[in-house]
Structure 1
Amino acid sequence: MKYTKNNIEKKRTELSSAKVRRHAKISLFLFKYILIISIVLIVTVLGLGAGFVRGILKTTPQISKESVHSKGYITTIYDNKGTKIKTLSNHDSNRIYIPLSKIPQNLQNAFISIEDERFYTHNGIDLYGIIRATFLGIKTQSLSQGGSTLTQQLIKNNILGIQPEKTTIERIERKIKEQSLALELEKIASKQYILEEYLNAINLGEGTLGVQTASQKYFNKNVSDLTLSECAVLASITKNPTRYNPITHPENNASRRLLVLKKMLEHHYITKEEYRKAVSDDVYQRIKKNASNPSNENKPNTYFEDALILQVVNDLKSQLGYDATKAYNAIYSGGLKIYSTQDSQIQKIANEISNNPENYPAGTKVSLTYTLSVKDINGTDVTYTENNVLNYMKKHNLGNSLIFSSSKKAKAVSKKFRKSIQRTGATILNEFISTPIQPQISITIINQSTGEVEALVGGRGAKTSNLSLNRATRTTRQPGSTFKVLSTFLPALDYSKMTLATVYDDAPYHYLDSNRPVNNYYSGYRGFSTIRDAITDSMNIVAAKTMADVTPNISYKYLKDLGFSTIVANKITSNGKTYTDINQSLSLGGLTYGVTNLELTNAFAAIANGGTYHEPSLYTKVVDQNGNILLQSDSKSQRVMKRSTAFLLTDAMEDVITKGTGTSASLASGMTAAGKSGTTTNNYDYWFSGYTPYHTASVWMGYDRNTDFDSNDLHKKIWSKIMDKISTTKNEKKISFKKPSSIVTANVCKKSGKLAIDGVCDHDPRGNMIVTEYFEKGTVPTQTCDTHVAVEICKKSDSLANKHCPEKYRKQKVYIVRQKNSPGITADTPYLLPEKYRNQVCKAHK
């Protein structure tokens, strides 16, 4: 445009025209409107943003030093020597708390170098890191580029936990909460406190929480013993615990470990020489070797550990008022230290001998345990068990027992059953099949002087799950003749003033309360027999007769004092039937429910301990994470029989092993031992319970489902092998059972139990019947034998001699007498005084 006078005038005219002025006004209006709208929008957005942030902050939890402290920690179980044998944890408690003072400086610096290099200078939020993460986020179109400080990571792990972060808004919300709480935490906690909590909370792969647990997992050592190279390995994991797992992805971890070491060098945490040494360390070979070693941590609990957990749970509930949930949480995430009574040497011996196939009858079989859950065609959930399988087998002529010659055959039958259910249109939801080896076994070993359980075996074969069937503590079986000593002869000696010399006639007999016949395991009847004989040779009729005199009520009281929790006085079942164990068959162990191996063993332990009963305990103390004692075994004890009673029973049970029904249990080591065997009706259960001066043990052998079999005394031999091995392994001194001062001896006749008559009792046609017996002071008999009688016979007339019979025809004979109308023919019958010698006098000499 040329700026001439005419052109300028022309332009002025155009600009001052009405049309131009009108457009200018419109443009100015629009500009002002848009400006106002923009300001309103900006203010609105800022207001909404502020409201959004305020809303988030309102839902942000309050923070305190205690709230960031990790809540779940590994519980450790120790044996009776203080050696760790097991750790317990759940998915969020696999950690062992360790103070910062025991965490190497190299490890602290490694995490700071790679995760939060400005940790000691920021106030919980690293602005430089946020800006860097933002630019990286824009570049990669991702908001997952880090920027979180160690403080923020601690907040995320221990306070915010798992929150949904599917959308950008949710991720922003979580970041705002993290940063807000991080600022607050830095105001109330020191850097050292935050770092300690972080290092105990961080996930380091496969659910391993905290540096102490990770150190033990990957290097089998405490964190305080880690090298620089090993510290760098752990610090490399946290960015992505799966991708940088040093066991499954060593190459990924190695590359990041190198970065960690470079960062530590850059920040002058290590020297060049330390850097070079760490870089050249073949650390992953050590990790690989350690990972290849079998670990108890991933194995199911042992039977002892199962029983221990249940006892601790029960005591937390009964003594501290915990409910079940709180008790289990304490055990699996409370960081407890449980000091058990298990003797690892003894447990190993019991495990090895009980799992040796050579110690069982030939032709070992299996039983079927089965559960099938289905949804039938009507949509109803139905569960079938092995009992349904048995009915199916009987119906289709496939057998009448759930005992099979092999696991393969058991599974084949269960497969047929499952198919039969599927043919009905049912949908299979779940199936469980187990074929435990048979016969099974249970073993309990107790230190009788303390009541501490030293070892438990709840079964043989592979244990595949926790809290599975424990035949030592949770299964009840009929105790058979082992019970005679406890139910009958103990109260007989202790309460009823009987002695080991007390005599009963082993002759045909019926229970007084049921009129059922009592049978011995042997054929025939042995006639007059002492209580010692009855214990030594396990005589049923003598036991039943003794019980009648003791009375079942007295017996029941003694058994309760011995700790038997499964016997019943008056049990009414859901079907209205009433059961009681207060009857005469208690003498032979005929019980409603049976007993557990643990309680039976502990009852014998009371005898072994001189008559003092201890409650059986599987732990000595339980300590919390802070070192406070929560539970402590106080070895509650009470005298349940006199010392003299315990000694008398022990002495008689020594005879069981040396010459009675328990000779197969004799110890090759020469250690003194006493015990009692037991076999139930139909040969379902085989027991041997006994003790040395140091340990009490019981062995049970039988099928889980009652099955007749012959143990060939192998259960007794297992007992013997275990006790012999313990004695030699422990190098135990061979000593005798201690005899109390209240014990005296006397010569008695074993056919009457009374003082022996020289020249009579020792002239029984079967041999000398005079024995030296132990007695409690005050119980020695005062009367002389009235069972043996000596008569003088005239050989010429074969009748009683009179005063005129010449000496050469006289002969003394010794016979025995029974009460009038005594039933049956016994071993004494041939030696009874003939009727003719009672009143027929010689008539040949006058």
Structure 2
Amino acid sequence: MKFLNVLKFLLKFAVGCILSGMVIAIVGYFYYSKDLPDVLQLKDVRLQTPMQVLSSDGELIATFGERRRMPLKYEDIPPVMLHAVIATEDSRFYEHYGVDPVGILRSLYIGLKQGSFSQGGSTITQQVAKNFFLTPEKSIGRKIREMILAIRMEKELSKEEIIVLYLNMINFGSRAYGIGSAAYTFFGKQADELTLSQAALLAGLPNAPSAYNPISYPEKALARRNWVLYRMLGQDFITKEQYEQAIIEPLNVKYHVPKISFSAPYVAEMARQFMYDKFGEKAYTDGYKVYTTISKLDQVAATDAIHDNIINYDMRHGYHGPEKTLWKPDEQAWDENKILSALNRYMCYNEICPAVAIGATPTQATALLSNGNKITITLDGVKWARTYINDNLQGPLPTTVSSVINVGQQIWVKKQNEQWVLSQIPSINGSLISINADNGQIKALIGGFNYNISKFNRATQAIRQIGSTIKPFIYTAALDKGLTMSTILNDAPIMRSNAGSDVWRPKNSPAVYQGPLRLRVGLSTSKNVMMVRTLRAIGVDYAADYLERFGFPRDNISRHESLALGSASFTPLQVARAYSVIANGGYLITPYLIDRIEYSEGGIIYQHTPEIACRNCIDDDNKKQNDARINLDNVENATDSSGSDEPEQSKLKADDNILLPDSSISFDGLINQSGSTANAVNTNNSNIYAPHVISSEVAFIMKDALKSTVWGDPNGLWTGTAWRAKALGRKDIGGKTGTTNASKDVWFAGFGSNIVTTIWLGFDDHRRELGKARRDPLNNNSYIAAEGGAVTANPVWNDYMKIALKDVPEQQDIKPSSVISVLIDKKTGLLAPQTGTDTIMEYFILGTEPTKYPTKEAGTKVTDDQGNTSELF
């Protein structure tokens, strides 16, 4: 009886405990489950994934983001990886419902036995719940919430979805999050390429990523990998034979960073800045793929062209000496470890690397690189190194190695043609910007010699004097006012005294004057005084206003006669955009860099729609404009040889039908659709047309004139300043050189087919001039020439464009119906009676062609076209 009473009491107590436990569990459930997030969010979760910047052809340029992650789908994860993780983290993963009582009891038993609770008994599902929804704090409340979320997850998500979340989310160390990133970071492989040994190593890392890091602690990582293999064997995921083979494999771990296909750091930074402005910090975590407009072929060609020509300039101007002297000849030489420590403070710039000379004789020098390798530099490797005296003067060629390199000097070297040569970091800088003239697509962009040396983007930010590169735009204004390419202006010295004592004497460069010349010849040979006379003919204010049509900012345009010689300052991008107007038939396109933005898992969230040059549109600007043009008879005053006051200007008005868009290019304008109100939308399709800012006739004639700058006179009577571009062997190329006073800025801007490219070179310190040097730095007898647009910038353009135009067919320009060809006399620009060596075909807008023939000389008598004669003397 007594036993029954005790049994009844125990039964009631047990029932009470169970009921109380149920009440507590229910109360606890409702208490801890309040405000818990909806686990269905995990079906559309966005893992923190770095931003990728890619080229138009899908090549990786850069990544931005603290966490490296490459999310994978379930079918992309190899079974060996799944088995390794399950064996290590949650052996009953496919049996429990989010919380594993067996695992909890096992962890309690081990904790009581060891005297510390190092194992929490958490399932993979619980770890996913904790990492996505909860804080890492260790508390009973957090653990209960974790269990509740895990149970809910098991109801809403499949086991496959849960383990994919885990493997894509978990930290493996070394900034690698997710199995895809970990496989590449430690082994340089895709996840499906992992071996059993490698999968086991990675499966052991999430428990303690820092402690088991195989790069920092290989012995600990090896022991952890072997333990994982043992667990896999114990759970029959692998055979004994597989276990024994895997356990003897070395780690073979090496740190791998995301493989960048090619270098375009200025482009990457522009894309990063845009993405941050648009998305904030999420730009670095939401896995965006940013496709730029540049291609690998064009960008690599641009990089090589800028780098090679800057180094060539630098070598022409002599050797500036060592970076520093670590010890002098009479001092104790440094040991190798101390040298390497000093070298490790430097990095390589464009394959120019630091080294320290540890031996030097008249015939060779020995130097130590930062990687510990020793190299030899012979006389051929230093022969270029004339002593730099100043930008205009260099010393003689060195005859021995030891006269250039001394022991203890920290120098710069590079490998060239399989041998090491002395080098140096250039102080000159440059930029290249290449765009598609039809739609504004940026094809290549170089903002400086090396991004790590200077992050200043000279292609988009450097505002430099433009020099003679401005001349085509002022001549375009002159054409729109009624001048023609056959108009005669006097190539003679000009002197103008101002109200004070100042005297302005614009000069040609070189100071050669040829008397009356046609406008085409003056542009092609870059005659400064003819440009000044042209500016006087049309008026400074008219020319300055007209420049805004090409997108030049009003605030940067100087309103005095020096404008004719390029006193205004613009960025290389603005210059390229302006030349595009001439190249595309008169349309002001908006340059852009970002083509589209995609989510990491696919799906386009932004697609740029460019404004295009509508070459095939009906051009309302092709109307007769005779009423808005200078009567050619009124231009005669501009050909006077006295350099007297400006001729009286005709009272003319600008064409009302020409659209004048906003002249500024904001950074956002490089990326986004321009908001110009001047855009004309074709209702027949989705194209957005760029504003038509100069007439098609004027654009056609000016483009043809710029081709003459390359090809010169057909009979070889004169050579254009851009003659070096003939090397490309194409008839559709044209361009203009530009050199400012004292050669502080040198330019070349030109086109080929529909590609427009602008080159700028100079020092960041605008007070410093580029100077002069021997054209061949290895020849004492080579001539000394001043640096300029033709000799310094044009070769960069050639080197780039020969690659950019390699597979691009020559473009045949379509002549507007209102443009006619007329045979003229080369000397006078008037009508030619018959074809001869002194005649040439010239383009005219209908109504502006000459109507008179030149006078004919016959002995001492002159006979005009009316048959009247008069004596010369």
Is the CA contact (8 Å cut-off) linking 2:87 and 2:235 kept in structure 1? yes
Q: Is the 8 A contact 1:436 1:461 kept in 2?
A: no
**2:727 equivalent among 658, 661, 668:** 668
Match of 2:842 in 1: 773
Residue aligning to 2:37: 62
Equivalent residue, structure 2, for 1:648: 701
Q: Secondary structure at the match of 2:38?
A: coil
What amino acid sits opposite 2:820 in the alignment? V
Could you tell me how far apart the structure 2 residues matched to 1:662 and 1:841 are? Answer: 37
Q: Deviation per CA, 1:187-246: give whole Å up to 9, x if none.
A: 333222222211111111111111222223233333244343332232122111122223
Alignment match, 2:7 = none
CA offset digits 1:325-368 (Å, max 9, x no partner): x52434322211122222212222222332232243414779x9
- 1:545 aligned counterpart, secondary structure: helix
Structure 1 runs (4+) greater than 6 angstroms displaced: 49-56, 511-516, 838-842
1:87 to 2:76 alignment: no
CA distance in 2, matches of 1:246, 1:458: 39
> 2:262 aligned with 1:302, yes or no?
no
Report the equivalent of 1:154: 128
Work out which of the residue numbers 810, 821, 829 in structure 2 matches 1:753: 829
Closer/same/farther in 2, CA of residues 66 and 545 from structure 1, 3 Å limit: farther
2:293 to 341, 349, 353: 341
Aligned position for 2:100: 126
Query: Which one of the candidate residues 316, 320, 332 is aligned to 2:284?
Result: 332
Q: How does 1:130-529 map to 2 (within 5 A)?
A: 130-161=104-135, 163=136, 165=137, 170-272=138-240, 274-276=242-244, 278-279=246-247, 281-282=249-250, 284-285=251-252, 287-288=253-254, 291=255, 295-296=259-260, 302-312=265-275, 324=277, 327-356=279-308, 357-360=311-314, 361-363=316-318, 437-461=426-450, 463=452, 468-486=455-473, 488-493=474-479, 495-507=480-492, 508=494, 510=496, 517=504, 519-522=506-509, 523=511, 525-529=513-517
Structure 1 SS opposite 2:106 = helix
Are the counterparts in 2 of residues 474 and 596 from structure 1 also a CA contact under 8 Å? yes
Change (3 A) 1:539 1:175: same
Code of the residue aligned with 1:305 in structure 2: it is: A
Q: CA deviation at 1:302?
A: 0.7
Matched position secondary structure for 2:41: coil
The within-5 A match list for 1:615-694 is: 615-637=590-612, 638=690, 639-659=692-712, 660=719, 662-663=721-722, 665-672=724-731, 673-693=733-753
1:697 aligns with 2:750: no
Change (3 A) 1:273 1:85: farther
Q: Which amino acid aligns with 2:292?
A: S
TM (normalized to structure 1)? 0.67
The CA distance in 2 between the partners of 1:209 and 1:500, in whole Å, is 66
Larger Rg: 1
The residue number in structure 2 matching 1:534 is 522
Cα distance change on mapping 1:750 and 1:228 into 2, 3 Å: same
1:413 equivalent in structure 2: none
Question: Contact 1:670/1:734 (CA < 8 Å) preserved in 2?
Answer: no
The equivalent residue for 1:588 is: 565
1:229 and 1:279 in contact (8 A); partners too: yes
C-alpha separation in 2, matches of 1:219 and 1:722: 42
Partner deviation per Cα, 1:718-756 (whole Å, 9 max, x = no partner):
543553465368743673653525443222234543324
C-alpha spacing 1:516/1:302, structure 2 compared with 1 (3 Å): farther
Moved more, 446-455 or 471-480: 446-455
Tell me the amino acid that sits aligned with residue 69 of structure 2.
R
Question: Partner letter of residue 607 of structure 1?
Answer: I
Distance 1:51 1:116, change over 3 A: closer
Deviation at 1:140, TM superposition (A): 4.5
Q: Residue type matched to 1:497 in 2?
A: G
- Write out per-residue CA displacement over residues 489-532 of structure 1, whole angstroms, 9 at most, x where no aligned residue: 22333x32332112233442659999973613333654323221
User: Cα distance 1:259–1:499, how it changes in 2: closer, same or farther (>3 A)?
Assistant: same
Q: Which residue of 2 aligns with 1:7?
A: none
Note the aligned Cα RMSD (angstroms): 4.2
Q: How far apart are 1:276 and its partner, in Å? A: 4.9
Post-superposition shift, 1:440? 0.9
8 Å Cα contact 1:669/1:728 also seen in 2 = no
- Describe the shift of the 1:141–1:519 C-alpha distance in structure 2 as closer, same or farther (beyond 3 A): farther
Structure 2 distance, partners of 1:193, 1:203, is 18
Gaps of 5+ in 2: 1-16, 324-389, 395-423, 613-689, 713-718, 773-785
Return 5+ residue gaps in structure 1 as ranges: 1-41, 314-323, 369-400, 406-434, 570-578, 763-767, 793-809, 816-837
> Cα distance 1:754–1:586, how it changes in 2: closer, same or farther (>3 A)?
same
Q: What is the CA–CA distance in structure 1 between the aligned matches of 2:245 and 2:576, rounded to whole Å?
A: 59
Q: Is the 8 A contact 2:544 2:557 kept in 1?
A: no
The letter for the 2-side match of 1:740 is K
Q: How does 1:591-606 map to 2 (within 5 A)?
A: 591=568, 594-606=569-581
Q: 8 Å contact 2:744–2:769 — kept in the other structure?
A: yes
The code of the aligned residue for 1:444 comes to I
* Distance (Å, rounded) in 2 between the aligned partners of 1:732 and 1:701: 27
Matched residue SS, 1:443: strand
Does residue 51 of structure 2 align to residue 75 of structure 1? yes
Query: Which structure shows the bigger proportion of residues in helix conformation?
Result: 1
Distance in 2 (CA, whole Å) between partners of 1:233 and 1:667 is: 61
Q: Which moved more, 1:596-605 or 1:250-259?
A: 250-259
**CA 1:646–1:234 in 2, change beyond 3 Å: closer, same or farther?**
farther
Change in Cα spacing, 1:511 to 1:208, as seen in structure 2 (3 Å) is: farther
Residue 713 of structure 1: CA displacement? 4.1
**Could you say if the C-alpha distance between residues 502 and 310 of structure 1 is closer, same or farther in structure 2, counting changes exceeding 3 Å?**
farther
Letter in 1 for 2:830: K
How far apart in 2 are the matches of 1:79 and 1:535? 38
The structure-2 alpha-carbon separation of the partners of 1:190 and 1:776, relative to structure 1 and needing over 3 Å to count, comes to: same
Does the 8 A contact of 2:464 with 2:571 survive in 1? yes
Residues 861, 871 of structure 2: 8 Å contact kept: no
Measure the CA separation in 1 of the matches of 2:735 and 2:541. Answer: 25
The residue type paired with residue 811 of structure 1 is: T
Could you tell me whether the CA contact under 8 Å between 1:667 and 1:724 is conserved in 2?
Answer: no
Q: CA deviation at 1:151?
A: 1.7
Q: Which amino acid aligns with 2:609?
A: D
Query: Match for residue 738 of structure 1?
Result: 813
